[in-house]
Structure 1
């Protein structure tokens, strides 16, 4: 099963998701009951689509359902998509991950899966539709009827998948599970009501169960948000009037309420004020509410207002004009990187990649706990609390403060340049110090690879071409990309081999060839064409023993 493409962080209970919230008792009662009745009942519809605007609580509901049925041993697989989550930001490992999880829960499915893999060893390199048919559909259809009653699969945040094409593919795959076995397989899908998703549901899944969160009674949603606020603000015991104002400001968005609670309770300014006795708790919350007065009243406007309030609150009154300029520049660079990274990094790794002192990054972001999820240890990744903050920073219509607005192409260009700079200074022959040209990849412990190739270097190896592609940059003969490939191509491919990501590297070379094709760089294009031929021809040798690449290059 190790040959299957696998994203361990996709599961709802992956190690790094230990602090992700569940629904508080007494909230979302009707929604959870509807989903429970569908899972446990005789309803023949095998898919339940829970849709809603950003911040309406879809992922929290999905986690709550997954946790409940995981405890009942009926959850057989879960895949939580996440932009910036590395492998969980795309669909390339979707089938392999679902198959691995199903095999872990159903012994008979595992036997059938092993049989399918031994029958066609190259299936993992084929298109997702063929993978799904051979690795999921066929084994499911052969399972005994009583192997597991009403097994459940949860697919969360489908709109976070990287491309519309991938979203359509995933929906088509899930539609293909209908009537493929004699059990009532249940699939819960959550997403925003994006046009491509709505169109695909109408096309492939007409008549399936659908619940739209924004259609739920405002009275019920406000009650839930009130319970949520009282629970999370229990340490300051807010007056009912304060809670009522917060509920009105939330406008049905749980993410607004959650951000407000973190801003109130975790902000350094709040506890300083309380400790020094400057103001009473109720008064400081009232003063804070006054900063959220807006002329517009759409839910998105409410959310944007609180994000701007959090960002502006991090500017201290003691800042000089130059301090403010420097602060804005650092915040824009850091946040611009965070919302365009393909996989989140720790503060330490981010500081090395951005060439900024770690203490400066920590100081700059210390008052942004309301929107950034700071890890408990320095080695863990710094994450956004919610993807809606990414949408806010990248949208000129929503982020009306030009000091914080992120130009997506510029952010990708900066990251591409920094990745190339880092790799140019770090990569070398035999980077893992094995001192043996015949050493197999399988013979080197993963921790040795991680020590010799730290997270920021592995990130740069994996994603530098993707950042280049997203930046919209044009390539030129003898530019920094051309020079990097001339000097460090073999070192880069060696590092990818130690990382077990040669396939991803070949895909990246294909993308680089596409960029070169539309650029004025005939010599670079010819060079990339040769690189592609070389990597494909010697792929097997490079994957097995990375240092063979230097001998293969001589032969080639």
Structure 2
């Protein structure tokens, strides 16, 4: 049999005389347009930049995490001043330059550790810059807490691989091959696996050839810099990453690669780097930091300030030598403390003080970084909106600009700026209001978020997450390209769940939050009409809890919030569905936390909150609404709209066409015996009987006269699938398989019998006659693009009674099939189908 064409892979190949060793062991794949063939590999020489750009676009690296990022907007903004840290930098360079052919096993990893603010990042930045100039930097990554993806491991490997491809072009095809061969599985793999496939293996394959190995022996090994590893929130990923690096060098002890890692001493890092046999070089930066270095920074900073500011120049010999020595002593060999003190003295703020006025204050700071932060913050705490602005900066997952902070908090831009200007010694004020506000050092975030250190005045309480979450809700439907709208969509859940976690042991507070959030979602700042949010929340409350908690989790592709939103049918666009779904998922998270503390069920809690809000709301703010439980009638109509389509001008005005969650361009093929992604319709099929029984019980209007009247069903927002009814019933088997799901079928059957009995009682009590005849319903042969037998009603009778008759034919057939008692001769649905087939098209 002829082999199918191999997938094409457009990649470059570096020119060399290394023969086939570069691709040793590889076969059966194709790269680019054919120029020559080596071991079944077709190679093309493309422009290297073009190939890198193509790969780089696919990798989507986090450029603001590399050594050549914009330090002004992507902290840490720290580098070693010329003349400082010379001894330790020389020691690190000597280690990195050590040859791979020396006797014994070389130390491939150097761990620089130390306390907060001792200058680890400045050294890492300086080392990365120096080796980049030498063309020996493989890659770099600077973690930073509170900077979105820079505090997580998800984009670490792609960012490192992108730099490797740029600095060592021979790795481009190897990285691309790994990316293509793994496909989407690589995105779901662990950070350690991604790092191995995108960095370690391509580096080893590219550098193992004699020519490149000889070159690295002459010039020295490549260096990879990883700074702030302790600031990565994914501690398990960090631990596995270190293990992967250590394991790589155990297998390949002569690899021309070095890793420079800097971090604080944390258990998940130190325990892996110090494991027996790891052969890791260690440097304690605190022991290497001298007062001479701090003195040099002080003198150099005041010299530059005097040169650039004529007022400071006029001060003369300022500060005095004694004052400078006191500043050095106050810093206690900490670069972050001396840097913050110098910014406090020299930066202009809105308090009217001059550098001369602020120097004596700085000389009084003698108790470390926390007291320094507290003193600087205390001088601004009375500014309007101070707490909201500072707490939001501390708690957001990604930095926002002053404009975005103002919009999120509903605060004027100039009020935000008043707070920021006074804190410019510890918070970086961007040159433009559109650029993000960042912290000079992540230790400030730790201070603000640790109650024992910053309370009572400056603690950014987790309860503030609730305000951020509510304001995110208001912005979630903003323009797609708006950064604040993007932030709100991505992090609404984080802020909401952080608040719930903080309140998780206090049912009273959780109930208050529930009521407050429902009211807010229907309030004046909601991007939706109040009635839409109310119906969506009410639908969520009335969904059958057995389906939601027991059946759906085993099969669903939608969250409960998405199911409720789609089922409510009040939204049209996909963004609206997503936003309302996220809101309902947030409520589900709170209700789950509440149910763990109390005996009440989540639906009872939600209905209770809605009832309380309804009874206290003013008619001018929230439209009048019928009683809550009577809304089961609306859910009956929703079930029918998701199972049937209505077209009064059609040959079959009512047709069984269930909703699909698929986009319009992706239909379920008719030959597929188990259509997927029909969650909304599957729920409708399950719950119609239950909602009808409850509607008859709780909606007096329905019980009296409305069952037999024609109804107008809202058009479903879902894509209708042309699924023949018998195929759909076969697909439903997955929910009701007795061996796997126990009594699900019995529940379905009991609900169907309950609704049937309730209907019969109403018909008898209200003298409405009997159920419509089954003869109205039948099959029609749909010829055209979709050739199949459609089931529906040939009369335009949209009353609940008639629709129930059509549904009943489906339900009775399904129950008999599941129980094994089905007979084609007694099944109404099959009789209608057989009659239509005999009579040539429809009945």
* Same fold at TM > 0.5: yes
Q: Distance in 2 between matches of 1:395 and 1:185?
A: 39
Give the number of equivalent residue pairs: 476
Show the counterpart of 1:170: 241
Show the counterpart of 1:418: 471
Tell me if structure 2 keeps the 8 A contact 1:332–1:404: yes
Tell me if structure 1 keeps the 8 A contact 2:469–2:492: yes
Tell me if structure 2 keeps the 8 A contact 1:156–1:191: yes
- Is 1:37 matched with 2:94? yes
Q: Distance in 2 between matches of 1:25 and 1:539?
A: 62
Cα displacement string for residues 202-251 of structure 1 (whole angstroms, at most 9, x for unaligned residues): 338733011111223xxx52110010011112224421111100011001
Bigger relative contact order (CA 8 A; separation at least 6)? 1
Change (3 A) 1:383 1:244: same
- Is 1:466 matched with 2:523? no
Change (3 A) 1:351 1:399: same
Of the three residues 11, 17, 26, the one matched with 2:83 is: 26
Q: Distance in 1 between matches of 2:204 and 2:276?
A: 20
Q: Distance in 1 between matches of 2:226 and 2:587?
A: 32
Change (3 A) 1:333 1:538: same
Change (3 A) 1:205 1:53: farther
Change (3 A) 1:489 1:399: farther
Show the counterpart of 1:226: 295
SS at match of 2:719: helix
Aligned-residue offset at 1:384: 0.5
Change (3 A) 1:180 1:381: farther
Of the three residues 427, 432, 443, the one matched with 1:377 is: 432
Change (3 A) 1:270 1:34: farther
Of the three residues 70, 84, 88, the one matched with 2:146 is: 84
- Is 1:190 matched with 2:262? yes
Change (3 A) 1:17 1:360: closer
Tell me if structure 2 keeps the 8 A contact 1:137–1:180: no
Aligned-residue offset at 1:73: 1.2
- Is 1:403 matched with 2:457? yes
Show the counterpart of 2:197: 134
- Is 1:311 matched with 2:377? yes
Aligned-residue offset at 1:272: 5.0
Q: Distance in 1 between matches of 2:240 and 2:576?
A: 30
With normalisation by structure 2, the TM-score equals 0.52
SS at match of 2:444: helix
Tell me if structure 2 keeps the 8 A contact 1:242–1:285: no
Aligned-residue offset at 1:26: 1.4
Show the counterpart of 2:131: 69
461-470 vs 19-28, which moves further: 19-28
Q: Distance in 2 between matches of 1:269 and 1:238?
A: 22
Show the counterpart of 2:31: none
Q: Distance in 2 between matches of 1:189 and 1:512?
A: 42
**What is the 5 A alignment of 1:135-284?**
135-145=198-208, 146-147=211-212, 148=216, 149-179=220-250, 182-203=254-275, 206-216=278-288, 221-234=290-303, 235=306, 236=312, 237-268=318-349, 273=354, 281=356, 284=357
Q: Distance in 1 between matches of 2:149 and 2:287?
A: 33
Q: Distance in 1 between matches of 2:660 and 2:86?
A: 55
Tell me if structure 1 keeps the 8 A contact 2:345–2:359: no
With normalisation by structure 1, the TM-score equals 0.77
Show the counterpart of 1:390: 445
Bigger CA radius of gyration = 2
Change (3 A) 1:285 1:413: closer
Cα displacement string for residues 451-483 of structure 1 (whole angstroms, at most 9, x for unaligned residues): xxx111111011111122222356889964874
188-197 vs 132-141, which moves further: 132-141
Q: Distance in 2 between matches of 1:125 and 1:62?
A: 30
Q: Distance in 1 between matches of 2:249 and 2:69?
A: 28
Q: Distance in 2 between matches of 1:172 and 1:472?
A: 35
Change (3 A) 1:167 1:290: same
Aligned-residue offset at 1:268: 3.1
SS at match of 2:405: helix
Cα displacement string for residues 296-317 of structure 1 (whole angstroms, at most 9, x for unaligned residues): xxxxx411121122112336xx
Change (3 A) 1:112 1:179: farther
Cα displacement string for residues 347-387 of structure 1 (whole angstroms, at most 9, x for unaligned residues): 00111111111111111221111001011111110100101
- Is 1:50 matched with 2:50? no
Change (3 A) 1:535 1:554: closer
Aligned-residue offset at 1:179: 4.9
Change (3 A) 1:511 1:50: farther
Tell me if structure 2 keeps the 8 A contact 1:141–1:180: no
Aligned-residue offset at 1:539: 13
Show the counterpart of 2:423: 368
Aligned-residue offset at 1:519: 4.9
Q: Distance in 2 between matches of 1:535 and 1:171?
A: 45
Aligned-residue offset at 1:144: 3.1
Show the counterpart of 2:360: 287
Change (3 A) 1:17 1:489: farther
Q: Distance in 2 between matches of 1:551 and 1:156?
A: 53
Tell me if structure 2 keeps the 8 A contact 1:5–1:124: no
Aligned-residue offset at 1:161: 0.6
Change (3 A) 1:265 1:41: same
Give the gaps of 5 or more residues in structure 2: 1-54, 101-105, 307-311, 313-317, 505-509, 522-535, 538-560, 596-600, 607-658, 668-714, 722-843
Q: Distance in 2 between matches of 1:226 and 1:170?
A: 38
Aligned-residue offset at 1:396: 2.5
Cα displacement string for residues 77-108 of structure 1 (whole angstroms, at most 9, x for unaligned residues): 11111122121110011111111111111111
SS at match of 1:381: coil
Q: Distance in 1 between matches of 2:445 and 2:66?
A: 22
482-491 vs 46-55, which moves further: 482-491
Show the counterpart of 1:446: none
Cα displacement string for residues 118-168 of structure 1 (whole angstroms, at most 9, x for unaligned residues): 322222232323323322232222123453541111111011111322322
Aligned-residue offset at 1:29: 1.4
